[in-house]
Amino acid sequence: MQLRELAVPGAWEITPQQHGDPRGVFLEWFKAGPFAEAVGHPLDLQQANCSVSAAGVLRGIHFADVPPGQAKYVTCARGAVLDVVVDVRVGSPTFGQWDSVLLDDVDRRAIYLGEGLGHAFLSLEDDSTVLYLCSTGYAPGREHGIHPLDPAVGIEWPTTARDGSPLTPQLSAKDEAAPGLHEAAEQGLLPTAAAVEEFIASLRA
């Protein structure tokens, strides 16, 4: 298993070693030891989610209040998605920047997004199945969103599906109504880099 920190600090790409034979494939998509060594603290698993999306479904950009935030360890068990992390931490040197990892059923990578980061993905194939390990449970009052097509963020979403057909983004009504990055900052919805640092320091203590 290899872990590589992304351009947005606090997010990692995880590439597992796959063991294949005529029967199929086996891999370890999460290992507590290497994870804690790279990130600096263990993952406190409180909830596991599964979503299935048609090609073109665009989910996010989602984030949660810090503390406690919601860290996510995400992989795609079937199909393919472009998974994106956005720095929404006010005061961060990389505020507003994003990075991405292709999650699919070929390389079987995962992505870890620490507390205070925004998360979104675009499904590139029908029935793409995404699995999330989460550090906190769902709490509607603490969770927020930024419009995934906000030009201030400028995510370069793919325009074609895995089979080469054109993609039309499909957003939920909630994501469609989400504010832009700067509007969310003006509304006081975004976590601060200082609050995130303080909380993560408490996890490492």
Taking only the tens place, the pLDDT of each residue in 80-132 is 999 999 999 999 999 999 999 999 999 999 999 999 999 999 999 999 999 99
Please give the pLDDT value at position 183: 98
Task: Please provide the size of the chain in residues.
Answer: 205
- Among all residues, which ones are annotated catalytic? 62, 132
CA distance 130 to 51: 5
What the chain holds in terms of domains, given with CATH numbers, is 2-204 (2.60.120.10)
178 pLDDT above the threshold of 90: yes
Please give the pLDDT value at position 205: 87
Taking only the tens place, the pLDDT of each residue in 56-77 is 999 999 999 999 999 999 999 9
Q: In this structure, what are the phi and psi dihedrals at residue 99, rounded to the nearest 5 degrees?
A: -145, 165
